Protein backbone atom coordinates (compact mmCIF):
# COMPACT_ATOMS: atom_id res chain seq x y z
CA UNK A 1 0.00 0.00 0.00
CA UNK A 2 1.16 3.51 -0.70
CA UNK A 3 2.41 5.56 2.19
CA UNK A 4 0.38 8.74 1.70
CA UNK A 5 0.87 11.54 4.24
CA UNK A 6 -2.25 12.45 6.25
CA UNK A 7 -2.34 16.07 4.93
CA UNK A 8 -2.56 14.73 1.36
CA UNK A 9 -5.38 12.35 2.31
CA UNK A 10 -7.19 15.18 4.11
CA UNK A 11 -6.88 17.40 1.05
CA UNK A 12 -8.24 14.71 -1.27
CA UNK A 13 -11.15 13.95 1.05
CA UNK A 14 -12.04 17.62 1.40
CA UNK A 15 -11.82 18.06 -2.37
CA UNK A 16 -14.14 15.13 -3.00
CA UNK A 17 -16.61 16.32 -0.39
CA UNK A 18 -16.68 19.96 -1.43
CA UNK A 19 -15.63 20.40 -5.06
CA UNK A 20 -17.00 17.11 -6.40
CA UNK A 21 -20.12 16.87 -4.16
CA UNK A 22 -19.47 13.32 -3.00
CA UNK A 23 -22.61 11.28 -2.39
CA UNK A 24 -23.11 7.56 -1.87
CA UNK A 25 -25.69 4.80 -1.73
CA UNK A 26 -25.30 1.28 -0.36
CA UNK A 27 -27.55 -1.24 -2.07
CA UNK A 28 -28.10 -4.79 -0.86
CA UNK A 29 -27.67 -7.57 -3.42
CA UNK A 30 -31.47 -7.91 -3.57
CA UNK A 31 -31.66 -4.32 -4.89
CA UNK A 32 -33.00 -2.67 -1.76
CA UNK A 33 -31.48 0.49 -0.38
CA UNK A 34 -29.53 -0.07 2.82
CA UNK A 35 -27.80 3.28 3.51
CA UNK A 36 -26.96 6.61 1.92
CA UNK A 37 -25.16 9.87 2.62
CA UNK A 38 -23.16 12.77 1.33
CA UNK A 39 -24.55 15.50 -0.87
CA UNK A 40 -27.34 13.58 -2.62
CA UNK A 41 -29.54 16.67 -2.97
CA UNK A 42 -27.11 18.09 -5.56
CA UNK A 43 -28.11 15.19 -7.81
CA UNK A 44 -31.81 15.62 -7.11
CA UNK A 45 -31.93 12.50 -4.97
CA UNK A 46 -34.20 13.09 -2.00
CA UNK A 47 -36.83 11.29 0.07
CA UNK A 48 -35.07 7.93 0.02
CA UNK A 49 -36.61 5.01 1.88
CA UNK A 50 -34.51 2.26 3.41
CA UNK A 51 -35.60 -1.21 2.35
CA UNK A 52 -37.26 -0.10 -0.90
CA UNK A 53 -35.92 -0.90 -4.37
CA UNK A 54 -33.16 1.53 -5.33
CA UNK A 55 -34.20 1.38 -8.99
CA UNK A 56 -37.62 2.78 -8.07
CA UNK A 57 -35.99 5.64 -6.15
CA UNK A 58 -32.99 6.47 -8.36
CA UNK A 59 -34.08 5.91 -11.95
CA UNK A 60 -30.66 5.87 -13.63
CA UNK A 61 -29.63 2.86 -11.51
CA UNK A 62 -32.46 0.68 -12.82
CA UNK A 63 -30.95 -2.46 -14.35
CA UNK A 64 -27.36 -1.74 -13.25
CA UNK A 65 -27.52 -3.64 -9.97
CA UNK A 66 -26.61 -6.06 -8.56
CA UNK A 67 -23.03 -6.14 -9.76
CA UNK A 68 -21.29 -9.39 -10.65
CA UNK A 69 -18.28 -8.57 -8.43
CA UNK A 70 -16.77 -6.32 -11.12
CA UNK A 71 -16.61 -2.55 -10.47
CA UNK A 72 -18.37 -0.30 -12.95
CA UNK A 73 -17.41 3.27 -13.88
CA UNK A 74 -19.83 5.47 -15.83
CA UNK A 75 -18.28 8.86 -16.63
CA UNK A 76 -20.19 12.04 -17.40
CA UNK A 77 -23.71 10.73 -16.80
CA UNK A 78 -26.36 13.43 -17.05
CA UNK A 79 -29.01 12.92 -14.37
CA UNK A 80 -32.67 13.73 -14.80
CA UNK A 81 -31.92 16.95 -12.87
CA UNK A 82 -29.38 18.02 -15.51
CA UNK A 83 -26.35 17.45 -13.30
CA UNK A 84 -23.37 15.73 -14.87
CA UNK A 85 -21.88 13.08 -12.62
CA UNK A 86 -19.29 10.34 -12.61
CA UNK A 87 -20.88 7.18 -11.23
CA UNK A 88 -18.64 4.59 -9.58
CA UNK A 89 -20.27 1.31 -8.59
CA UNK A 90 -18.31 -1.35 -6.76
CA UNK A 91 -19.14 -4.45 -4.74
CA UNK A 92 -18.35 -5.15 -1.10
CA UNK A 93 -19.44 -7.72 1.44
CA UNK A 94 -22.23 -5.33 2.62
CA UNK A 95 -23.64 -4.88 -0.88
CA UNK A 96 -22.99 -2.65 -3.88
CA UNK A 97 -21.73 0.88 -3.31
CA UNK A 98 -22.75 3.66 -5.66
CA UNK A 99 -20.55 6.78 -5.51
CA UNK A 100 -21.56 9.99 -7.24
CA UNK A 101 -19.02 12.70 -8.02
CA UNK A 102 -20.01 15.93 -9.76
CA UNK A 103 -18.32 16.10 -13.17
CA UNK A 104 -19.86 19.34 -14.45
CA UNK A 105 -16.43 20.98 -14.71
CA UNK A 106 -15.14 18.05 -16.81
CA UNK A 107 -18.20 18.24 -19.04
CA UNK A 108 -17.69 21.97 -19.57
CA UNK A 109 -14.02 21.47 -20.46
CA UNK A 110 -14.84 18.72 -22.95
CA UNK A 111 -17.55 20.89 -24.52
CA UNK A 112 -15.04 23.73 -24.90
CA UNK A 113 -12.51 21.42 -26.53
CA UNK A 114 -15.18 20.07 -28.89
CA UNK A 115 -16.28 23.59 -29.80
CA UNK A 116 -12.69 24.65 -30.52
CA UNK A 117 -12.19 21.55 -32.67
CA UNK A 118 -15.34 22.38 -34.64
CA UNK A 119 -14.23 25.99 -35.08
CA UNK A 120 -10.82 24.94 -36.36
CA UNK A 121 -12.42 22.48 -38.79
CA UNK A 122 -14.60 25.26 -40.20
CA UNK A 123 -11.60 27.58 -40.55
CA UNK A 124 -9.61 24.85 -42.31
CA UNK A 125 -12.52 24.22 -44.68
CA UNK A 126 -12.79 27.94 -45.51
CA UNK A 127 -9.04 28.21 -46.12
CA UNK A 128 -9.12 25.20 -48.38
CA UNK A 129 -11.92 26.79 -50.44
CA UNK A 130 -10.00 30.07 -50.70
CA UNK A 131 -6.78 28.32 -51.78
CA UNK A 132 -8.54 26.01 -54.24
CA UNK A 133 -11.40 27.95 -55.80
CA UNK A 134 -13.39 26.10 -58.46
Which residues fall within 8 angstroms of residue 61, CB to CB, at 6 or more apart?
A: 25, 27, 54, 55, 98
Fold of 6-102: Beta-Lactamase (3.30.450)
Residue 108's pLDDT is what?
Answer: 58
Check if the beta carbon of residue 20 is closer than 8 Å to that of residue 99.
no
How do residues 5-22 score in pLDDT, each as one tens digit?
999 999 988 888 888 889
Residue 133's pLDDT is what?
Answer: 75
pTM to 2 decimal places: 0.74
**More reliable by pLDDT, 100 or 127:** 100
Residue 19's pLDDT is what?
Answer: 84
Residue 45's pLDDT is what?
Answer: 92
Instruction: Say how far apart CA 89 and CA 27 lie, in whole Å.
Output: 10
The yes-or-no verdict on residue 132 having pLDDT over 90 is no
How do residues 79-124 score in pLDDT, each as one tens digit?
877 888 999 999 999 999 999 999 876 655 666 667 767 767 777 7
How do residues 33-85 score in pLDDT, each as one tens digit?
999 999 999 999 999 999 999 999 998 898 999 998 899 999 988 887 788 89
Amino acid sequence: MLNIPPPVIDYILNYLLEARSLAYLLVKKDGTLLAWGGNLAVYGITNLCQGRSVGEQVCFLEGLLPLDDIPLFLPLIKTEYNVCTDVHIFPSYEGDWVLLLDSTWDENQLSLIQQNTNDFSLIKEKLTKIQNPK
